[in-house]
């Protein structure tokens, strides 16, 4: 089945630094990947749609300069949280699907803690 | 704007005690309704996709059903390993492929 790998699973960084999260589709090619953010006891909130070879599409209210997305290949998308602050601490999850009619498959998430 | 409301927020059952989780939705042009299972600290794991009212799908002790306004996830004779948060999501007809999720139902099955 479709496998999505996300790395790292946990990261702690200091306020003001940048953190990069990788999302890989291991056994399929994904022209589109999605980045979600999840707060405790809240819904997964779609942040942006990552398109291979083109600019990401950001949801309303998501700062594109803070959350940089790069989808340089059909199997890799990265999310960089720039100049991180404590309020950016959250659980970030990526997802992808391998064909038009297949469901989204999710990575195991990255727990970001900004101190 | 697509909306998904799940109830109850939390549910505690005894092992073997069957129940149902509810997912109410409003969406412009439903392309799919999805159920996922999420364990603590993990990403969602796909369970079912439903496309049209009247459709039903089953997997082990789980059965998902769909009407024009809501979906139910029925759990029959649950076991402790079924404990998890169950998420419902919809994909609308707006062209984008991203999903709109509900807050989930946190299910605990006590032995």
pLDDT digits (tens, 9 = 90+) for A33-61: 999 999 887 889 999 999 888 889 999 99
| Tokens read off for B43 | 């990403």
Report the chain A residue with the minimal C-alpha distance to residue B42: A108
Q: How many Cα neighbours within 13 Å face the side chain of A68?
A: 11
- Return left, alpha or beta for A41; rule: phi > 0 is left, psi -120 to 50 is alpha, else beta: left
Q: Which of B33, B98, B100 to substitute to test the interface with A, most A CBs within 10 Å?
A: B98
Kindly report the nearest CA distance between residue A3 and chain B, in angstroms: 11
pLDDT grade, residue B97 (50/70/90)? confident
- Chain A: residue whose CA lies nearest to B99: A46
Answer yes or no: is pLDDT of B98 > 90: no
Return the pLDDT at A97.
80
For residues A68 and A85, what is the distance between their CA atoms, to the nearest angstrom?
15
pLDDT in tens, B33-84: 999 999 999 999 999 999 999 999 999 999 999 999 999 999 999 999 999 9
- Phi, psi for B80 (deg, rounded to 5): -55, -35
Q: Which of B2, B46, B86, B89 to mutate to test the interface with A (most CBs of A within 10 A)?
A: B46
Residue B60: DSSP 8-state = T
Give B104's contacts in chain A (Cβ within 8 Å). Answer: 43
State pLDDT tens for residues A2-34. 799 999 999 999 999 999 999 999 988 888 899
Give the closest-approach CA distance of A41 to chain B in angstroms.
Answer: 7
Q: Which residues of B touch A21 (CB under 8 A)?
A: none
């Amino acid at each position: 089945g479709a496998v999505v790998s996300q790395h790292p699973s946990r990261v702690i960084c200091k306020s003001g630094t940048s953190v990069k999260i990788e999302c890989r589709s291991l056994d399929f090619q994904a022209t589109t990947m999605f980045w979600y953010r999840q707060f405790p006891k809240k819904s997964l909130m779609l942040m942006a749609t990552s398109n291979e070879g083109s600019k990401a599409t950001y949801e309303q209210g998501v700062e594109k300069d803070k959350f940089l997305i790069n989808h340089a290949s059909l199997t890799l998308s990265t999310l960089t949280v720039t100049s991180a602050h404590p309020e950016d601490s959250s659980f970030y999850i990526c997802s992808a699907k391998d064909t038009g009619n297949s469901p989204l498959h999710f990575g195991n998430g990255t727990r970001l803690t900004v101190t | 704007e697509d909306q998904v409301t799940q109830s109850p927020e939390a549910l505690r059952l005894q092992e073997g005690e069957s129940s149902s989780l509810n997912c109410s939705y409003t969406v412009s042009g439903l392309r799919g309704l999805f159920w996922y299972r999420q364990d603590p600290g993990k990403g969602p794991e796909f369970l079912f996709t439903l496309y049209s009212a009247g459709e039903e799908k089953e997997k082990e002790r789980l059965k998902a059903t769909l009407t024009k306004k809501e979906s139910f996830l029925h759990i029959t004779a649950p076991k402790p390993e079924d404990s998890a948060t169950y998420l419902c999501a919809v994909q609308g007809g707006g062209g984008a492929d991203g999903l709109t999720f509900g807050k989930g139902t946190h299910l605990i099955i006590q032995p």
